[in-house]
Amino acid sequence: MPRSNQRESTTSKAGQPYHYDESGLDLGIEGFGLNGDRDSLGSPDYDERIVDVTGYGSWEEVTIVGDVNVDESTLKTLVPEDEYDEPPLKVIVKIDTLDTQRRLPNVVKRGPLDEIENGKIRSFDFEHTFARENVHGEVLLEPRLVRTDDCDEGLPYAPSAGMQVAAGKPWVVKVDSMDTEGEGFPSMYQDFSDDDHELNKELVHALQGSRQDPKVVVNSHHDEIVDVLESGRGGGFRPRMRKIVGAEISTMTYVQLVLHTAGTVAENGECEHDWQKGLLVELDDYLYPDLDVEETETKLSDAVQPENLREFSDHLNQAIQLYTKQSSHLNGHIRLDGP
């Protein structure tokens, strides 16, 4: 099957005291089938590493078919020589349903693996079926190599069972067209307390993704905050609190996105990505209501110049507060739920 380019592997990872190869595995996706159909698999986007099933109408389940590849030379760096005969390792694909907070390890190959031989590429078949009722938004598929037993030799090898020793580039399964703000920043959940996560676990949210496709990521480590955000749109304390928390997250996110857009316009003379123009259209009545999009771009380019930045930050703060209706949500919460 077509595969993406895999950079040369390394045997270290920042923060890990033992040998860890962050690009030692290659997850390849052959295709996907809907409702049990395996005869005519749909094709993924190999360049972007995306499986997009959003345009296939109604379906009950989707099956992803592929494989995980690992080079023998990679294995030799991750276990001591006395473990070459039966490497105590298992291959898994970590499945993170970002928007429903389900994390499911799919065991592709249970340990131990077969004897290590020089120059051989090992391939392990992978398949997983998602029920439509259990997933929405985006699903992340990440290959992992994990120790199954403790290592007698210890460092520089991973000393304990359950430790991850290798990873690879992920794939994204798009299940739904995401709800967006400003035509382009989906909201999803990730647990910042995971050992392999680079963000501080005390953060509530962060703007992640690329400049072309930014995403608001909410830290699912904070159970109470997540419960509020998923409390629905009815009456009661939690739904009203949801509006307040959502407005706070939106306010800070919109400020970031407007500043990113202004920086792009200052550099290039115009918006670079579709979401940036969408953002300016969405905020039109609050940011610069008397200007069209092109005039707003020019205004933003001037606004982020050092001599104008203080005044612009005040104006931006006021515009975003009005757009997110902060006062309305706060007053309603205090009036109905206050002492």
CA 202 to chain centre: 18
**What number is the average pLDDT over the span 230-257?**
79
For residue 228, give both structure tokens. Answer: 């509020």
Residue 5 confidence class, pLDDT cut points 50, 70, 90: very low
How much is the pLDDT for 68?
Answer: 94
**What number is the average pLDDT over the span 177-204?**
65
CA distance 278 to 323: 15
CA distance 214 to 66: 28
How much is the pLDDT for 312?
Answer: 94
For residue 313, give both structure tokens. Answer: 């930050």
Higher-scoring residue by pLDDT: 20, 115: 20
Poorest-confidence range of 78-87, 178-187, 256-265? 178-187
CA distance 85 to 81: 8
Neighbours of 333 (CB within 10 A): 15
Residue 73 confidence class, pLDDT cut points 50, 70, 90: confident
Per-residue buried b or exposed e for 12-51, using 16+ beta carbons within 10 Å of the residue's own CB: ebeebebbbbbebbbbbbbbbbbeeeeeebeebeeeebeb
**What number is the average pLDDT over the span 151-164?**
89
173 in Cβ contact with 31 (< 8 Å): no
CA distance 94 to 55: 25
Annotated domain spans of the chain: 21-177, 178-339
Residue 235 confidence class, pLDDT cut points 50, 70, 90: low
How much is the pLDDT for 14?
Answer: 40
pLDDT at residue 256 is higher than 60: yes
How much is the pLDDT for 234?
Answer: 53
The rounded percent of the chain whose pLDDT value lies above 90 is 30
To the question of domain 21-177 being in CATH 2.60.40, the answer is: yes
pLDDT at residue 177 is higher than 60: no
pLDDT at residue 260 is higher than 80: yes
**What number is the average pLDDT over the span 249-267?**
91
pLDDT at residue 214 is higher than 70: yes
pLDDT at residue 233 is higher than 80: no
Residue 8 confidence class, pLDDT cut points 50, 70, 90: very low
220 in Cβ contact with 213 (< 8 Å): no
**Maximal CA-CA distance, the chain:** 74
Cα-based torsion angle of the residue sequence 281, 284, 287, 289 in order, rounded to the nearest 10 degrees: 150
pLDDT at residue 75 is higher than 50: yes
